Amino acid sequence: MGFWEYKINNPNVMLASEKKLWNEIEPVLNGLLDELRVQGKIETIYTQAEKEDLLSAVEKLDRISEAHNTLLDIIRQQRGSTEGQRKRETFLKQTAEFGFNEQRVVFMYLALAVTVEVLSTELFKLRLLFHMKDVDFAVSHFSTTMSSAAQISWPKLKPYVDNEFRNSLSHGTWAVINHKIVLFKDAKLLPSSDPEAKMSLHRFMMRIKSQNVLYQCLINVLDKKAKSGFFMP
């Protein structure tokens, strides 16, 4: 497995909505990297240890995503489908003695989904910062760093980095109420300013997927840039 090419999703096998998002994001990321290069903010020299540490840091998302997808396959079996119902009932029956039930499986999925969303967003920031130089490398300062380093491109990319969603999930300011995921503003549990502060589980899944598309698109763009000699000293 190469340094630049790491579990790149094939955009040709995405859902139409995901492909549309990918096509929107890809030119923005290309423009961002080109601007960073012009500004002298692209790193071109890495030690082998740095390359190995990067792969180790990002690998966890793939492992957690595999577990997430396994539970998702169980949960999203069509309730109107006899085969789907049989699979779900078989799973619950065979795991019941270990304490599994439908509610616990759903919340196990939610725990993994929250982790996947937060990691997708944060590893997007980490991966981009890793390929930069002469900047603040604190992931928590990502927005400030990017607004300074890429004044033209960052405003175009910023709407795709779902920080408000990420903040609610990582800070615990969310809840499941009446079968909907509800986001709160802060510890006073005031209504969030997020336009989709109350969402169905399906919409919740789609917002998580959007951040994963953002992350995977970055990896794809970096890979293409590397092959074109973009990162050569």
| pLDDT by 10s per residue, the chain, length 233 | 333 333 334 444 568 888 999 999 999 999 999 999 999 999 999 999 999 999 999 999 999 999 988 888 777 665 556 776 777 788 888 988 999 888 888 889 889 999 999 999 999 999 999 999 999 999 999 999 999 999 999 999 999 999 989 999 999 999 999 989 999 999 999 989 999 999 998 898 889 999 999 999 999 999 999 999 999 88
pLDDT given for residue 233 in this prediction: 82
Q: Tokens 């539970």 sit at which residue?
A: 71
Q: Is the dihedral of CA 204, 181, 168, 62 positive or negative?
A: negative
Spell out the domain ranges in the chain: 26-171+201-226
* C-beta atoms surrounding 59 within 10 Å: 13
E strand residue ranges, the chain: 174-177, 180-183, 198-199
144: CB partners within 8 A, 6+ apart = 136
Look up the pTM and report it: 0.86
> How far apart are alpha carbons 67 and 57 in whole angstroms?
18
Q: Tokens 């840091």 sit at which residue?
A: 57
